[in-house]
Structure 1
């Protein structure tokens, strides 16, 4: 997580409250905690290294990045055995000695790289874009290299996404609070922490980011985007009512800004439906998704990950509903079978969305079998009764 709490008592400070060390900017709720940290918490030993690294926030980002790279390389060790980085062509990074990762949809011998190489390549591209004052489209395309594989064009996921999030944050944390790239980096860090299922840490980052955007008067679409990510994290932490309320507001906000036919509205609509399903408000979810699905399929295409997820949730709204009919369950199974084939072809078998679809397909089939089983048992009972009467 980023430093939003007192280093001694963990009192919440957000991004602007409290007191800072004059040398390294370590944050405290007040002078008492600062004195205690110097005398008893080891700050007298850490202050100089923190200052040398660029301050407490930069020191923390560097440390968290190194830890995240180690976790990612260890998680990918079996998959990357005997391979080399497609950027530097080495198996072990010459400087950091880190191992390889692959957290995208590349298959075969493609897509293996060091997190450091991916991060450095993305940094160079953005530095060039800034130096040459490239336009918005060029900057956006280059920024995608921070989270999207340049070979398969799919987002990085899991612990690899988390490591890349920390790589991005440590690169831009030193910029002013109003700097656009710093804000983008904070957003990417929150998403990376979620990808690695560090939801409590992600929540801290996202709440701080939302507070920052409001304080600096960010555009409405930026605030809505941050609320979208934050509401999903609320859901992951089981705070379903808070998630539903925020997702409903975000969906309404996108409808006002873009309209129902715009691609920017599809994800908020799906997120809202996800919360409705979690709270077993299945009919509301179905109505919403019936409006969203056809437009998403036409605008985004059948193979787009967002389209797959929207259709996945539509199937969930049927098979999780205890009042679903036999035909409803059959439709859910048929839909998920189609989605599984498409996801395997487009995203690969190990991609998280593919894995989720496969798990949902198993759940839907189980629900269908459970619905059919009583009919079979009733038939058997009827047969037994018939023979007993003979």
Structure 2
């Protein structure tokens, strides 16, 4: 995570409080902790290596990245046997000696790669874009290489997403605080930590990101995605009332500021999930009916993952609601069967979205079976 705590006692320091080591910039809440850390915490041995790496933040990011790559390679080891990287064509990375991973929607013999190769590819593409003064759209597409597979165009997930989050942050953290790329790298780190289920750390990163943007005077409409990410961290940590309140705000602001359609649908789905969790099923159904009626399937296509999620959230509201009729549940199960087939075809059976669709289907079938058992 981003370093906002005392290195000795872990007291929160925010972004500006406390004292820094004059050599390596490691942060402390005061001189007492700094002295203790030097004498008893091992900082006397680490100070020079930390300075050599570029400071405490860079040293921490480099270390976390190396650990995340090792975890990702170990997690994917069984799946990648006998394969080679589609970027460098080697099985073992020539420099880092890391193993292969695959964490997208590629199937068969496609999509095997080293995290280092993915990171280097993304770094080069972005640097070329900056050098040639490419426009926003082109730069945004190149930035996508930090999170999407260049072969299947689907988001990386799990341990691979986590490793790429640290790769992105360690690459750009040294840029000026106002640099949008540095702020975007913070977003990628938060997303990566979430993919690793490190939700406390993800929330810490996202709160730092929002605080930084506000301190720099970023317009409120630009902070919407960061607030949406904070709401997701709240949800993962079980802070459901805060999640619902923030998601209402995010959706309303996204509509008011006319954000892109695909983003608005994501925020709508998130709000619907929170409404269902709060057992506000009628409100959730009404809200989702209105969104489906807006015809997003014609705008983005029926196979767009957010459009699919709108439909399964709507069906899920009937399966979760104890007051739903058997006919409603029958229709919901039929919807789940269709959507599970679609996600499996588009993303493969091992993708998290496909697994989520399968869980919805099984839940619906279970509720239908309970209806039949009572009749």
After TM superposition, the score normalised by the length of structure 1 is 0.94
Residue aligning to 2:271: 272
Residue aligning to 2:281: 282
Residue aligning to 1:39: 39
Q: Deviations over 1:212-260 (max 9, x none)?
A: 111111132321110001101101111000101100111111121117x
Residue aligning to 1:307: 307
Instruction: Give the deviation of 1:372 after TM superposition.
Output: 1.2
Residue aligning to 1:58: 58
Instruction: Give the deviation of 1:341 after TM superposition.
Output: 1.0
Q: Within 2, Cα distance between the matches of 1:204 and 1:179?
A: 20
Runs of at least 5 residues in structure 1 that lack an aligned partner in the other structure: 376-390
Q: Deviations over 1:79-108 (max 9, x none)?
A: 111100000000011111111011000000
Question: Alignment partner of 1:79: what SS?
Answer: coil
Q: Deviations over 1:275-324 (max 9, x none)?
A: 11111111111111111124322222111111122222112111011111
Residue aligning to 1:119: 119
Q: Within 1, Cα distance between the matches of 2:238 and 2:89?
A: 44
Residue aligning to 1:245: 245
Correspondence 1:1-390 to 2 at 5 A: 1-258=1-258, 262-294=261-293, 295-375=295-375
Q: Within 1, Cα distance between the matches of 2:126 and 2:261?
A: 28
Q: Structure 1: which 4+ aligned runs deviate by more than 4 Å?
A: none
Q: Within 1, Cα distance between the matches of 2:363 and 2:6?
A: 45
Q: Within 1, Cα distance between the matches of 2:168 and 2:278?
A: 35
Q: Within 1, Cα distance between the matches of 2:20 and 2:5?
A: 11
Whichever of the two has the greater Rg, that structure is 1
Instruction: Give the deviation of 1:16 after TM superposition.
Output: 2.2
Q: Deviations over 1:38-82 (max 9, x none)?
A: 111111111100000000000000000000001111111111111
Question: Alignment partner of 2:16: what SS?
Answer: coil
Question: Alignment partner of 1:255: what SS?
Answer: helix
Q: Within 1, Cα distance between the matches of 2:199 and 2:107?
A: 29
Q: Is the 8 A contact 2:262 2:306 kept in 1?
A: no
Aligned length: 374
Q: Is the 8 A contact 2:91 2:100 kept in 1?
A: yes
Instruction: Give the deviation of 1:202 after TM superposition.
Output: 0.7
Q: Within 1, Cα distance between the matches of 2:158 and 2:219?
A: 30
Question: Alignment partner of 1:197: what SS?
Answer: coil
Q: Is the 8 A contact 1:258 1:264 kept in 2?
A: no
Q: Within 1, Cα distance between the matches of 2:5 and 2:106?
A: 39
Question: Alignment partner of 2:186: what SS?
Answer: helix
Q: Within 2, Cα distance between the matches of 1:229 and 1:284?
A: 23
Which 10-residue stretch deviates more, 149-158 or 290-299? 290-299
Cα-Cα RMSD: 1.2
Question: Alignment partner of 2:78: what SS?
Answer: helix
Instruction: Give the deviation of 1:29 after TM superposition.
Output: 1.4
After TM superposition, the score normalised by the length of structure 2 is 0.98
Instruction: Give the deviation of 1:210 after TM superposition.
Output: 1.0
Q: Is the 8 A contact 1:93 1:99 kept in 2?
A: yes
Q: Within 2, Cα distance between the matches of 1:357 and 1:81?
A: 29
